[in-house]
Amino acid sequence: MRVFVTGASGHIGSAVVPELLEAGHEVLGLARSDASASALKAVGAGVLNGTLDDLEILHQGAAAADGVIHLAYKHELSLTGDMEGAVAADLRAIQTIGDILAGTGKPFVVTSGLLALVGLGRIGTEADTRAAGERIDAENAVVAMAERGVRSSVVRLAPTVHSNLDRHGFIPLLIAMAREHGVSPYVGDGSNRWPAVHTLDAAHLYRLALESAPAGSRLHAAADQGVPFRVIAEIIGRRLGLPVVSVSSEQVPAYFGGLSRFVSVDIPASSALTQQLVGWRPVHPGLIADLEQGHYFQSLVSA
């Protein structure tokens, strides 16, 4: 099928696009810069120039496609504190694309996050939902599109999507912050857990969702159910030759900056229902093994 992909040249998109092409799909990728356009052309994808704010361009891309995968998100806004702006832009884009796909039965795969499960106090599942919230409003809107004749699905990404393709995610940010402060910190006893997934496993899940996810389904891109934050900090500290230290909740902003709202959360999550529903089987290294390969630290040293 012909697939319109937003965020096609980003971290996840750079794995999703080849995954789709290798499976025989045709890809039209949204590109907001000449560099992004060149990267897409280099792997054999078509290009539609525009940004997440160009609703007419999103309209064109969706209308020309047999299915849509929405990966783009204004992460730069959320990290600078303008979460409201990032959420609003995402919801506008989703509604624009959904309106075009209504009544067609075409697949629409949208990205959400497992951070939506904060506060459950147990292992989260695909059946866990909330009535409202920052990215939850968009997630619920996508699921509701099933009633409008869209084969909609939501992929809840783990907060840590890791691989040698990751340049700006949580792990590179944590490493950069450790270098800046001369210590690798964690909060309290560091027992809070983060799910994780390898970029290539996540890309495979997006393709499976496009091809076979039932309308209105929620999927979990989580291979590691939950890695204790302290373990992540200890590996970073050892690799950088820095002390590993516990910081108090009051010290969090000084050490973590834009990541402060995330570093204390405990959000273990299962992907068992996802694996049953679409046959997803993560096969690439888990987060700890991937960190131990050293590429995160080599790439940052040479950057």
Regarding whether 178 and 298 lie in a shared domain, the answer is: yes
CATH number at residue 158: 3.40.50.720
Instruction: Specify the pLDDT at position 87.
Output: 87
Mean local confidence (pLDDT), 154-163? 97
Instruction: Specify the pLDDT at position 134.
Output: 80
Q: Is residue 289 part of a domain?
A: no
- Of the two residues 244 and 119, the one the predictor is more confident about is 244
Q: How far apart are CA 223 and CA 273, in angstroms?
A: 12
Q: 243 is in which domain, residue-wise?
A: 170-193+227-267+294-302
Regarding whether 216 and 233 lie in a shared domain, the answer is: no
Mean local confidence (pLDDT), 27-52? 96
Q: What is the pTM of this model?
A: 0.95
Q: How far apart are CA 110 and CA 86, in angstroms?
A: 15
- Residues 100-143 pLDDT 10s: 999 999 999 999 999 878 888 899 999 999 998 888 999 999 99
Q: Is the dihedral of CA 75, 80, 83, 88 positive or negative?
A: negative
Instruction: Specify the pLDDT at position 17.
Output: 98
